[in-house]
Structure 1
Amino acid sequence: MLNVWLSAISLLVVFATHWLYRWRNPKCNGKLPPGSMGFPLIGETLNFLVSNKSLDMPPFIKKRMKKYGPVFRTSLAGRPVVVSSDPEFNYYVFQQEGKLVERWYMDSFAKLLRQDTTRINAHKNIHKYLRNLVLGYFGPEALKDKMLPKLEDAINERMLGWSKLSSLEVKKSTAAMIFDFTAEQLFSYEPKKSKENIGESFTNFLQGLMSFPINIPGTAYHRCLQNQKKAVDLITNMLEERKRNPEVHKGDFLDQVLADMKTESFLTEKFITYMMFGLLLASFETISSTLTLAIKLITDDPKVVQGLTEEHEAILNSREDVNSGITWKEYKSMTYTHNVINESLRLASVAPGILRRTIQDIQVNEYTIPKGWALMVVPAAIQLDPNTYEDPLAFNPRRWQDISANVTAKNFIPFGAGMTSCAGADFSKVLMGVFLHVLVTKYRWTTIKGGEVIRSPTLGFGDGFHIRVSAKHG
């Protein structure tokens, strides 16, 4: 009996040793990039989630870049991942969308959005349809023709309300503003008629989602799932109500999708619901984080406030009617404002990484990235590179006066790159431009609480960035 037990234990040790070896040395038709796969199953996930009280790139990335170079391997949430901060390689890969790589989301994101990425990637017309639909409602032409005045009215109304408060937390308030506006464009959501302010529930949503995915009451991840359910229920109710009353047409995004259900088989009710939640998440989380950082940075730099004020006061002074709304021509003329926005986007790097999955082996230098691995492109590592941007952690909008398009094509990717770059990029920049216009021409503001910048690895503001807003006149 003892011999049987000894044999069983020996076999178990041999099996465990072999499994551990295979974990640390994955199969590859070539030479893997340098790096470590970390502990079995959890990989280096815990190290990846370590926070950093700085605008600098996450310490996980910085340490490994220094040790292994711009391309290294790791394992996150049980998945083998190659991390790249090589601008040339990243640019090449983004141009090979659908040939070398395909879109991919971490499992937590895929579950949250309830989207089968394998199915979506297999049907290229789904990507094309979604991109064209988003551009039709949030792209440059839609912004120019009809959305610009709506956006200005919404920001004016929201900021007037803020001026009546003793103080406000900027991230929470801007997230609620963007959520409400985007939801109105998507499915005619009316926050004033809602029983609760759902937009305010989504403060620091992405930070919670990037925390360790343990769905236990009291955890940040659990709160994310609860808040997601609120938004999904809201969208589901709107969809069901619209289907019950087909004669009602509001001219919004949902109207168009419902009409397209007759011809596009992939547009199921579940797909539509989670697609619209994904659009909401992409807008309110990333834009509010960048906008909050922009307000914090300009607040700390009176010269930038002065530069913005002078530019926007000049726009008002050139109008025949000072009370008329912003025109597209005026927006395009905001040179200094665009520099401030670009600099804020460069420093924010809200997404910890842009994810793709390899659909065939990829060669990079002397290394091979195996088929089926995840590839993570890290915007912060590229946009904070001192070889491209002098004093990269300094907030310096004027640096954009001298940066050429050749540099930004490979070294400035706040909205991704290639054919699948974010279709809402122009919407994000226009919203920030209009917000800054209203802020500096009509209001003054002071800091109540500083809001310590934290990367964990997403962008956050510690205990919050609180300000007091007051009207300049009257």
Structure 2
Amino acid sequence: MDGMFVYILFFLLFSLACAFLKKQNRKPEKSAKLPPGSMGWPYIGETIQFYSQNPNVFFAAKQKRYGEIFKTNILGCPCVMLASPEAAHLVLVTQAHLFKPTYPKSKERLIGPSALFFHQGNYHMHLRKLVQNAVSLESLRNLVQDIEALALSAINSWRNGTVINTFNEMKRFSFEVGILTIFGHLDTHLREELKKNYWMVDRGYNSFPNSFPGSQYQKALMARKRLGKIVCEIICERKEKKLLEKDLLGCLLNRKDEKGGILTDDQIADNIIGVLFAAQDTTASVLTWVIKYLHDDPKLLEAVKTEQKGIHKTNDEGNLPLSWNQTRNMPITHKVVLESLRMASIISFSFREAVVDVEYKGYLIPKGWKAMPLFRNIHHNPEFFPEPQNFNPSRFEIAPKPNTFTPFGSGVHACPGNELAKLEILIMIHHLVTKFRWEVVGSQSGIQYGPFPVPLNGLPARFLGKSSS
């Protein structure tokens, strides 16, 4: 409750700042029909309800009352919420040029203004291609054994039966995979320095954005400066040794635009830190939910175990490493991952801002207003996913209707690392079910948001080796 109070207080203050400084909560100059909905209290809008309720409840109640297009006010910003696949596709794909990505400046400062997901146009397109090349299927094929080694290192530290915070442990694992993908095999000292400063930035990322000495946000800003210096040190070493690596850093260093221009060290650092942030919490959240859903369904867990034990046996009872082809042939486990992505809907929505007045289905989305495709509503719509509240991986035996399943977003700003995320999840699950049994400790229900949804308290659990009694 204390954490929730801090979040609500932060968003209340931030709402007031947005309202007074940006003055976005004005009536649109063009007289046209706004969508139905409530704008809530003056300045504050519906921020308290939004951040204190289960998003399923908040969004579903709004959609039931107003339909698939409705307005609200969150963080002092007027918003049009879009709960249909067609509307989401319009904002993210067919008319994406009319809607720009938008993030709070406080978060942009911590990641870096040159990070690709703050941009549109040619710069964004070139950077996205570089990231895609670094996490292409061809590149991932060569990372399977290294990711497997990281998974084994992580789970071997849990063997003593100590209760762990599953989400936090999965964050550590996904961070190590991110470091591997970006830098390859990095010097231990540099990796530890990166890790230490990254966690300080991570802790301050969702804190109240003030610069008072000693505040969590101020500490995060200082750690971000150190993080940038460490990355620049790694860049200088690469340049001096003229190393031609195929990891993400290598792709960024070798990038030249149509005029022969190269990225500055600061631009490279911003994008590296941005990729670390984009890849970590989301993947860790999904992994935590997969473990929770398997724990809650013994029959499903047994089916996944049977599938993975077959692979384990083929690999000389685990004495041989997993192969790329094996990770591509885990149909039951893969459907469990897809259903976990749908059920949890880690990314509930995306923030976009209309750059001009846009009319859609007779409603106006005014320039400067936020347009928010609601992935969670679409994923939990019984029209597309019957009995959406039930965890049912078999629903993915048939491909979902177009634009109804977008766990990684859609269009030019869709997550370019989605295949990497699925690969590390599959590898981790393979070793968990073949080497461990686990039990959830304490409450087995409840969700917390910080900001991504995770099981209550990060899913405290005890992992025991198969030989343990």
Tell me the TM-score normalized by structure 1. 0.82
Matched residues, number: 444
SS at match of 2:430: helix
**1:82 corresponds to which letter in structure 2?**
V
Instruction: Name structure 1 gaps, 5 residues minimum.
Output: 1-18
Moved more, 257-266 or 284-293: 257-266
Q: Partner letter of residue 339 of structure 1?
A: K
| Contact 1:172 1:203 (C-alpha < 8 Å) held by counterparts | no
Cα distance between partner residues in 2 of 1:388 and 1:349: 15
After superposing the two structures, state which structure 1 stretch, 32-41 or 306-315, moved more.
32-41
Matched, 1:459 2:456: no
CA–CA distance in 2 between the matches of 1:378 and 1:425? Answer: 19
Offset at 1:434? Answer: 1.0
Please say if 1:380 is aligned against 2:376.
yes
C-alpha contact 1:83 1:376 (8 A) present in aligned 2:
yes
Letter in 2 for 1:312: Q
Which one of the candidate residues 422, 434, 457 is aligned to 1:429? 422
Provide the C-alpha distance between the structure 2 equivalents of 1:435 and 1:118, rounded to a whole number of angstroms.
29
1:35 to 34, 37, 40: 37
Structure 1 residues 322 and 118: alpha-carbon distance in aligned structure 2, compared to 1, 3 A threshold:
closer
- Given candidates 318, 328, 341, the residue that maps to 2:324 is 328
Q: Which amino acid aligns with 1:48?
A: F
Are the equivalent residues in 1 in contact too, given 2:40–2:46 (CA < 8 A)?
yes
Which string of whole-angstrom CA distances, capped at 9 and with x for unpartnered residues, describes residues 178-231 of structure 1?
11221132124648535568379749959x745654556787766765665564
Find 2:462's aligned residue among 459, 463, 468.
Answer: 468
| Cα separation, 2, equivalents of 1:155 and 1:261 | 35
Match 1:186 to one of 170, 182, 185: 182
Give the Cα–Cα distance (whole angstroms) in 1 for the partners of residues 82 and 362 of structure 2: 14
Identity among equivalent positions (%) equals 29
Secondary structure, aligned partner of 1:445: strand
2:354 is aligned to 358
Matched, 1:133 2:149: no
Amino acid aligned to 1:414: P
- Aligned mates of 1:218, 1:66 — CA distance in 2: 45
Distance in 1 between residues matched to 2:38 and 2:46, nearest whole Å: 8
Instruction: Classify the secondary structure of the residue corresponding to 2:458.
Output: coil
Deviation at 1:84, TM superposition (A): 1.0
Between 1:111-120 and 1:153-162, the stretch displaced more is: 111-120
Once the 2 structures are TM-superposed, how far is the Cα of residue 282 of structure 1 from its aligned partner?
A: 0.8
> How far apart, in 2, do the equivalents of 1:321 and 1:457 lie?
40
* Higher relative contact order, chain-length normalized (CA < 8 Å, sep 6+): 1
- Secondary structure of the residue aligned to 1:325 is coil
Please say if residues 73 and 80 of structure 1, whose CA atoms lie closer than 8 Å, have aligned partners that are also in contact: yes
Write the mapping of 1:41-120 to structure 2, written as runs, cut at 5 A. Answer: 41-52=43-54, 57-115=55-113
The Cα of 1:341 is off from its aligned counterpart by 0.1
Aligned to 1:285: 281
Residues 434-453 of structure 1 aligned to structure 2 (within 5 Å)? 434-450=427-443, 452-453=446-447
CA contact (8 A) 2:101 2:119 kept: yes
C-alpha deviations, 1:111-136, integer Å up to 9, x for none? 333326899645x2222222221121
Cα 1:165–1:223 change in 2 (3 A) is: farther
Match of 1:411, SS state, is coil
| CA shift for structure 1 position 68 | 2.1
Mapped to 1, the partners of 2:356 and 2:336 lie a distance apart of 40
For residues 437 and 194 of structure 2, what CA distance do their matches in structure 1 show?
Answer: 26
Which deviates more from structure 2 when the two are superposed, residues 313-322 or residues 157-166?
313-322
One of 410, 413, 418 as aligned partner of 1:420:
413
Given that residues 51 and 457 in structure 1 are in contact (C-alpha distance below 8 angstroms), is that contact kept between their aligned partners in structure 2? no
Distance 2:285 2:151 in 1: 16
Q: Tell me, in whole angstroms, the C-alpha distance in 1 between the residues paired with 2:161 and 2:188.
A: 18
Contact 1:42 1:75 in 2 (8 A): yes
Amino acid at match of 1:31: K
Residue 260 (str. 1) matches residue 255 (str. 2)? yes
CA contact (8 A) 1:204 1:460 kept: no
CA contact (8 A) 2:68 2:82 kept: yes
Q: Alpha carbons of 1:121 and 1:70: their partners in 2 closer, same or farther (altered >3 Å)?
A: same
Q: Which whole-Å CA distance do the structure 2 matches of 1:268 and 1:186 have between them?
A: 17
Structure 1 pair 74–224 and aligned structure 2 pair: CA distance change class (3 A): farther
Q: Work out whether residues 445 and 467 of structure 1, in 8 Å CA contact, stay in contact via their aligned partners in 2.
A: yes
Q: What pairs up with 1:144-183 in 2 under 5 angstroms?
A: 144=141, 146-164=142-160, 166-183=162-179
**Alpha-carbon deviation of 1:370?**
1.8
> Can you list the C-alpha shifts for 1:336-364, whole angstroms capped at 9, x where unaligned?
11110001111222223212222333222
CA distance, structure 1, for counterparts of residue 343 and residue 437 of structure 2: 24
One-letter amino acid matched to 2:85? P
Distance in 1 (CA, whole Å) between partners of 2:321 and 2:283 is: 22
Q: Residues of 2 paired with 1:22 and 1:174: CA distance? A: 39
CA RMSD of aligned residues (A): 3.4
Q: Deviations over 1:70-117 (max 9, x none)?
A: 212223333332111112221233222543323333444333333268
Deviates more, 1:345-354 or 1:300-309: 345-354
Contact 1:290–1:350 (CA under 8 A) maintained in structure 2: yes
Partner of 1:275: 271
**In 2, are the aligned partners of 1:87 and 1:410 still within 8 Å (CA)?**
yes
Alpha-carbon separation, structure 2, partners of 1:272 and 1:246: 18
Give the distance between the partners of 1:22 and 1:126, measured in 2 at CA.
Answer: 28
Report the CA distance shift for 1:248/1:93 in structure 2 as closer, same or farther (over 3 A): closer
**In structure 2, distance between residues paired with 1:59 and 1:264:** 52
Q: TM-score, with normalisation over the residues of structure 2?
A: 0.83
Q: Residue type of the partner of 2:47?
A: T
State the alpha-carbon separation in 1 of the partners of residues 206 and 170 from structure 2: 21
Q: Which deviates the most, 63-72 or 97-106?
A: 97-106
